[in-house]
Amino acid sequence: MNHEEIIIDGPNIAHGADVPTDHHAHDHEHHEQHFVWKYIFSQDHKVISKQFLITGIIWAVIGALFSVFFRLQLGFPDSTFPIMEKFLGDWAKGGKLSPEFYYALITMHGTILVFFVLTAGLSGTFANLLIPFQVGARDMASPFMNMLSYWFFFAASIFMFVSLFVETGPASGGWTTYPPLSALKEASIGSGVGMDLWLIGMALFVVSSLLGGLNYISTVLNMRTKGMTMTRLPLTIWALFFTAVLGVLSFPVLFSGLVLLIFDRNFGTSFYLSEIFIGGKALPHIGGSAILYQHLFWFLGHPEVYIIMLPGMGMASEILATYSRKPIFGYFAMIISLIGITLLAFLVWAHHMFVTGMSPFLGSIFVLLTLLIAVPSAVKVFNWLTTIWRGNIRFTPAMLFALGFVSLFISGGLTGIFLGNSFLDLHLHDTYFVVAHFHIVMGVSAFFGMFAGIYHWFPKMFGRFMNATLGYIHFFITFAGAYLIFWPMHYEGIAGMPRRYYDYSAWETFKHFQSLNAFISIVAIIVFFAQLLFVFNFFVSIFRGRKVTTMNPWGATTLEWTTPINPGHGNWPGEIPEVHRWPYDYKDDGNGNDFVPQTVPLRPGEEAH
Amino acid sequence: MSALITLTLIILVFVIIYQISKASEYTAVIRGEEKVKLQTNRTIAWLLVIFFVLGIYGIWMCNDYFKDKMLPVAACESGVHYDSMFNMTLLVTGIVFFATQAVLFWFAFRYQSTEKRTTFFFPHNNKLEIIWTTIPAIAMAILVAIGLKNWFNTTSDAPANAQIVEVVGKQFNWLIRYPGKDGELGKRSFRNIDDATNILGLDWNDKHNADDIIAQNGELHMVVNKPIKLLIGSRDVIHDVGLVHFRMKMDAVPGITTTMWFTPTITTDSMKQITGNPDFVYEISCDQMCGKGHYSMRGTIIVQTQADYDKWMATQQPYYVANAPTPAPGQPSIPATADTSKTAVKAETTKAITMK
């Protein structure tokens, strides 16, 4: 097929700034592509990025809607909500959620948000959009693999979505799906077909993530334009690069864990099963270890937290610098702390398992390594704060979300210091304190990074602006709402209230939090509608938003703003520009501008960073 | 139909909000974009300040309101250590929280864009980086040291005089086994389990099982000021013994025996006075997702004086008495009196099972 050759042709001569080439070879605008190849089975990183984003948004709405359903149950356990019956049918007979489906909802809420939104939706969108743009490449190293990455994700989405409609319900053993609960059909109805579909969906998801990750890594390492040394890369690229490294090294371990679980479920093996009496009979399994699964799961599960966090960190760094009109403070310290976080991310997984009966000595090692990760995190926070110090801050929606990101990252990070210390974890483990901690630090704050990125790069994606007023409304409701929802959960957790309970009214120790739960639920519903407002703004702005009229509307220094307003496949109509300086030269350029793009050569006598 | 109307209404509201916001874009163009931008910037900066002030005030009020509802009274020695370490960590993180958030919001307000402002080109400073790498590192080292000291104390071996009790989780209740007069728990195997007659799979060939007592109502009795060691197991999926007032948690994993020990220091009766709650009861919560009844997997703990404990113990029947197959010839140590009450107890036990 003709168009494919052209597409593959582009990136292969990406270093072409120094290679004399015929300009017209890159001018893909002339080649009219069929709709299917241009928008559906597209190999253009920009289109794939939009595909990831829009699929992610759809999943996010579904996942958030689930949280509204189970928050209704938690906030008002004595009331019925007939509207739920409309959505959920017999799972909410008479408007009252059944316990089985409550657990299915929390499981799918976690799975969807962690994997389908904050991994695929976040990395998939911004790694695809920004890596070729910001390193100066015409596309990914392998556009075809990149396309496969999306379509494997799409297939995973289909399986996960179908699992919502099977008769026995979707998986309901928590997003961590610990066996034996998830391995035995007798243990829970969600461990039937729903769990099989969950496992297939996740296996496909891992494939998608690996195809994407390998591409991101090779593009960053091999396809940088002339002059773009590693130390001239924007921090977004550094962050997305380490995100991909984390994914490539840890997702296979999850995959192996899932495969063993599939074997235990279907082929009579005993990797995770031992000495179990269930459903009125003793099972033949002997010698497996249920804890083995937890090691395999958390070996991905913990790096996964950083897979979710790092893109937000990178984008916040970029956006804070851009709208403060100041260089990011401590560029090298930021890179070193990213490396530190990446390395430590592999060495802390068992802090999720302090109470599994593991050796206390082993636990102590994980305490040390876990609290060590607070150091690079603290360095990043201090660097962000110094970045805005004595800046000239423009409060665009993107900047507000980046500031909110820092605020939430501090709040959620500090509670991690409690949970990482095994002795304190003894009481707080699996309580609402944990729920509050991870929702703030990797849920909401990663979302804030994502929102910041969307508001900031929307003009590059669609050639139009999102409506700023709606952005401000969205920001303040979400920011206040996030704190109002999750701050009170800390109190519940400190009181020892366990997570994943359907109803607390029978518990003498926990029942006095009922009115607080109702309050949290009301705020959650308001915040849900604020997110719908964002989705509305997003889709309407694609078609009706104010048009972008200049190539570089935010006055940013990085390469993506040197492309045309609506770049075609290949990104730059002419040669790829050459890079002469680091990406954060926010200083007087001698012509009255307060920034110097990366493509501008050093002036005589000017020192490089 | 009503759903359709609601949906239309919601979309309509969104459209209206969007149109109003859109209008603000047009007025901005008419009034001069730069001017409007600066004005918006000022407004947003003030909103952030208001947000911060209200936030801190709200946190203050919340803390005040929830002060007594947070950590429940600690009912064991390591629980008291827990509370002091928790409060210390809270103090350290609280200070850092307030300081960094204040700086963040202050900088945002103080350095908001104005027409005159010029920025300070300040790309790096190694001295600062070293300072704020070292200080958190030292703080973390101190927290780790305190944490590990407590951790090793708590997870050390139980004292020799500790009372030993087995706690076994099953979907969805707790089974408690006391060793009886001989002080030893007999062997058990999951293959022997029978929901009607041998709920824990006790091996009737092991003499030690003959006097073991099983509480199927999840009631765990302890003697105040006497160390207790729990042997924790599970019949089916992973559960978790969560003891809020003792600041303890330990998973119950099928195929593995886990343990925890502590010394309860406050009896249930004194706790009723301390909390002023006549219904007070120590609860065992399941803290590991275990299926649809997870939220109702509740046990209770009764901490009592030695005298009360002995009195209660005297009323208990060994599980064997009610449930063993016709006494085998090799089983000597069954109290003769037990035989008469055998049928009655058995009826009671079956009832307990059907209720679950």
For B81-134, what is each residue's pLDDT tens digit?
A: 999 999 999 999 999 999 999 999 999 999 999 888 888 899 989 999 999 999
A429: nearest CB among B20, B104, B287: B287
Q: How far apart are CA B290 and CA B15, in angstroms?
A: 45
CATH number listed for the domain at residues B163-325+342-355: 2.60.40.420
Contact status of A360 with chain B (Cβ, < 8 Å): yes
SS3 B259: strand
Q: Please judge whether B147 and A609 are an interchain contact, meaning their C-beta atoms are less than 8 angstroms apart.
A: no
What are the pLDDT digits (tens) for A156-176?
Answer: 999 999 999 999 999 999 999
B115: closest chain A residue by CA: A392
SS3 B303: strand
The residue length of chain B stands at 356
- Cβ contacts of A297 on chain B, cutoff 8 Å: none
- Whether omega for the bond prior to residue B172 falls within 30 degrees of 0, making it cis, is yes
Residue-level pLDDT at B19: 86
Question: Could you give the percent of chain A with pLDDT greater than 90?
Answer: 86
Q: Are strands B163-170 and B228-234 parallel, antiparallel or unpaired?
A: parallel
What are the pLDDT digits (tens) for A203-254?
Answer: 999 999 999 999 999 999 999 999 999 999 999 999 999 999 999 999 999 9
Q: Please judge whether A500 and B289 are an interchain contact, meaning their C-beta atoms are less than 8 angstroms apart.
A: yes
B190: nearest CB among A184, A282, A371: A282
Contact status of A324 with chain B (Cβ, < 8 Å): yes
- Cβ contacts of B258 on chain A, cutoff 8 Å: 356-357
- Cβ contacts of B200 on chain A, cutoff 8 Å: none
Residue-level pLDDT at B167: 96
For residues B36 and B112, the model is more confident at B112
- Whether the per-residue pLDDT at A607 is higher than 90: the answer is no
A355: closest chain B residue by CA: B250
What are the pLDDT digits (tens) for B185-239?
Answer: 999 999 999 988 899 999 999 999 999 999 988 899 999 999 999 999 999 999 9
Q: How far apart are CA B223 and CA B164, in angstroms?
A: 11
Inter-residue contact A578 to A226 (CB < 8 Å)? yes
Q: Please judge whether B147 and A367 are an interchain contact, meaning their C-beta atoms are less than 8 angstroms apart.
A: yes
Which residues is B167 bridged to in the sheet?
Answer: B176, B232
CATH of A2-16+34-273+284-357+365-562, one of 1.20.210.10, 1.10.3720.10, 3.40.50.2300, 1.10.730.10: 1.20.210.10
Q: How far apart are CA B201 and CA B192, in angstroms?
A: 4
User: CB-side exposure of A337: number of CA atoms within 13 Å?
Assistant: 28
Rounded mean pLDDT, A552-572: 93
Q: How many Cβ pairs within 8 Å bridge chains A and B?
A: 356
Residue-level pLDDT at A84: 86
Inter-residue contact B215 to B204 (CB < 8 Å)? no
Residue-level pLDDT at A450: 97
Domain boundaries, chain B: 15-114, 126-156, 163-325+342-355
Q: Please judge whether A180 and B258 are an interchain contact, meaning their C-beta atoms are less than 8 angstroms apart.
A: no
Q: How far apart are CA B106 and CA B125, in angstroms?
A: 22
Q: What is the 3-state secondary structure (H, E, C) of A425-459?
A: HHHHCCEHHHHHHHHHHHHHHHHHHHHHHHHHHHH
Q: Please judge whether A392 and B111 are an interchain contact, meaning their C-beta atoms are less than 8 angstroms apart.
A: yes
- Cβ contacts of B298 on chain A, cutoff 8 Å: 506-507
Q: Assign B3 a pLDDT band (cuts: 50, 70, 90).
A: confident
Q: How far is CA B224 from the centre of its chain?
A: 22
Contact status of A414 with chain B (Cβ, < 8 Å): yes
Q: What is the ipTM of this complex?
A: 0.91
Nearest to B132 by CA among A248, A297, A274, A382: A382
Contact status of A506 with chain B (Cβ, < 8 Å): yes
Q: How far apart are CA A429 and CA A354, in angstroms?
A: 8
**φ and ψ of A232, to 5 deg:** -110, 5
Q: Could you count the other beta carbons within 10 Å of the beta carbon of residue A54?
A: 15
Residue A16 corresponds to which tokens in the numbers above? Answer: 């072409």
- CA A23 to chain B, closest CA, distance in angstroms equals 37
Q: Are strands B239-243 and B248-252 parallel, antiparallel or unpaired?
A: antiparallel
- Whether the per-residue pLDDT at B351 is higher than 50: the answer is no
Residue-level pLDDT at A31: 61
Contact status of A101 with chain B (Cβ, < 8 Å): no
Nearest to B243 by CA among B232, B257, B254, B255: B232
- CA A276 to chain B, closest CA, distance in angstroms equals 5
Average pLDDT, chain A: 91
Which residues is A282 bridged to in the sheet?
Answer: A277
Contact status of A583 with chain B (Cβ, < 8 Å): no
- Cβ contacts of A501 on chain B, cutoff 8 Å: 294-295
Q: Could you count the other beta carbons within 10 Å of the beta carbon of residue A546?
A: 17
Rounded mean pLDDT, A547-553: 93
Q: How far apart are CA B242 and CA B298, in angstroms?
A: 10
Contact status of B17 with chain A (Cβ, < 8 Å): yes
Residue-level pLDDT at B343: 42
Q: How far apart are CA B192 and CA A496, in angstroms?
A: 36
pTM of the model: 0.91
Residue with structure tokens 């070879």?
A: A25
The sign of the CA dihedral A39, A45, A46, A49 is positive
Inter-residue contact A170 to A225 (CB < 8 Å)? no
Contact status of B212 with chain A (Cβ, < 8 Å): no
- Whether the per-residue pLDDT at A261 is higher than 80: the answer is yes
B:315-354 residues touching chain A, CB 8 A cutoff: none
- Sorted by sequence, the CB contacts under 8 Å of residue A199 that are 6+ apart come out as A258, A261, A262, A265
Containing A336, the helix (H) or strand (E) segment is: helix A331-345
With b for 16 or more beta-carbon neighbours within 10 A and e for fewer, the A11-34 pattern comes to: beebbbbeeeeeeeebebeeeebe
- CA A355 to chain B, closest CA, distance in angstroms equals 5
A537: closest chain B residue by CA: B18
Residue with structure tokens 């009886």?
A: B180
**φ and ψ of A608, to 5 deg:** -70, 160
SS3 B54: helix
Which residues is B300 bridged to in the sheet?
Answer: B219, B283
A407: nearest CB among B104, B281, B293: B104
B23: closest chain A residue by CA: A469
Nearest to A297 by CA among A344, A351, A268, A256: A256
Containing B174, the helix (H) or strand (E) segment is: strand B173-178
- Cβ contacts of B112 on chain A, cutoff 8 Å: 393, 395
Q: How far is CA A170 from the centre of its chain?
A: 23
Q: Are strands B248-252 and B173-178 parallel, antiparallel or unpaired?
A: unpaired
A180: nearest CB among B111, B254, B277: B254
Q: Please judge whether B24 and A469 are an interchain contact, meaning their C-beta atoms are less than 8 angstroms apart.
A: yes
Dihedral through CA A138, CA A140, CA A145, CA A147, nearest 10?
-60
